[in-house]
């Protein structure tokens, strides 16, 4: 699209302390790396990975700060996250997917492996996880700092049923009272019936989650790659109408690249 843009998942969450937490290393992280370099400040970040499907890790080799010895990156997230990031460079057989091997990167990269056991505490912020309904699994994240709560859940099928799935009630509890909920809304209600088990939600399910959880602001995320700008805008309008008819107050936005939210 021209207005919403089309890079894949990468979210920056600056904490009050100045520490930056990045979620996912999709193609959007390349542009973020350029912004970091332009600032002239050393890059010292936490990188959390939701899951290791290509659209969430493929940008990491193009994140310019990894080639700078001054860069420090602490990685955590879904248990397979380090394997996924390594595989964007080379696999177990030593075959190269990128001209530079992962072990030859100049940055200091450490794997924390903590958030899957307990909430991760970074300065004054607490980050919790929730499993997502998506093939091969993954995590959604909740950031809490002082009285502010931001929830990021992408690649999650809210209506998926089964013994190993996360039910909607669990999602409601996880998102309860969030200032901002960023949730997968890839499909329309008409499209979702033919895409059961694909691990994505329709926009009405995302809106209903926001309403049930008393969320202040919902951002529709993970637009379908075939969607054109007017179609995304029409989805946003349909969500506005649904919220209005429900008699609740909740802002709805369709995610636009490089949008900054101040809380």
pLDDT band at 166 (very low <50, low <70, confident <90, very high): confident
Spatial separation of the C-alpha atoms in residues 70 and 45, rounded to whole Å? 12
Give 9-29 pLDDT, tens digit per residue: 999 999 999 999 999 999 999
Give yes or no for a contact between 183 and 199, defined as CB atoms under 8 angstroms apart: no
- Among 149-158, 165-174, 190-199, 228-237, name the one with the lowest average pLDDT: 165-174
Q: What pLDDT is attached to residue 240?
A: 98
Q: How confident is the model over 198-215, as pLDDT tens digits?
A: 999 999 999 999 999 999
Structure confidence at residue 73 (pLDDT): 98
Across the chain, mean pLDDT equals: 94
Q: Using 50, 70 and 90 to split pLDDT, how confident is the model at 94?
A: low
Instruction: Identify the structural domains of the chain with CATH numbers, from first to last.
Output: 1-118 (no CATH), 124-256 (3.60.15.10)
More confident position, 160 or 223:
223
Here the tokens at position 163 are 């013994």
Sequence-ordered alpha helix ranges (H) in the chain: 28-39, 54-57, 81-87, 168-175, 189-192, 203-212, 229-246
Beta bridge partners of 202: 187
């Amino acid at each position: 699209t021209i207005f919403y843009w089309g890079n894949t998942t990468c979210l920056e969450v600056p904490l009050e302390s100045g520490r930056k937490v990045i979620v996912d290393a999709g193609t959007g992280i390349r542009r973020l790396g350029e912004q970091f370099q332009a600032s002239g400040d050393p890059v010292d970040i936490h990188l959390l990975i939701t899951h290791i499907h290509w659209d969430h890790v493929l940008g990491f080799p193009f994140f310019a700060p990894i080639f700078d010895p001054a860069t420090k990156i602490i990685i955590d997230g879904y248990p397979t996250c380090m394997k996924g990031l390594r595989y964007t460079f080379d696999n177990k057989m030593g075959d190269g997917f990128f001209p530079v091997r992962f072990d030859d990167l100049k940055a200091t990269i450490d794997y924390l492996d903590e958030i899957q056991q307990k909430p991760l505490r970074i300065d004054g912020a607490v980050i919790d996880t929730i499993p997502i309904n998506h093939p091969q699994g993954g995590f959604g994240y909740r950031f809490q700092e002082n009285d502010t709560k931001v929830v990021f859940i992408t690649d999650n099928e809210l209506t998926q049923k089964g013994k190993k799935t996360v039910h909607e009630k669990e999602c409601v509890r996880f998102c309860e009272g969030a200032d901002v909920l960023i949730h997968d809304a890839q499909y329309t209600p008409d499209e979702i019936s033919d895409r059961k088990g694909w691990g994505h939600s329709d926009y009405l399910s995302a809106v209903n989650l926001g309403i049930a959880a008393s969320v202040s602001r919902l951002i529709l995320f993970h637009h379908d790659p075939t969607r054109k700008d007017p179609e995304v805008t029409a989805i946003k309008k349909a969500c506005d109408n649904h919220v209005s008819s429900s008699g609740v107050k909740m802002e709805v936005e369709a995610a636009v690249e490089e949008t900054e939210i101040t809380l």
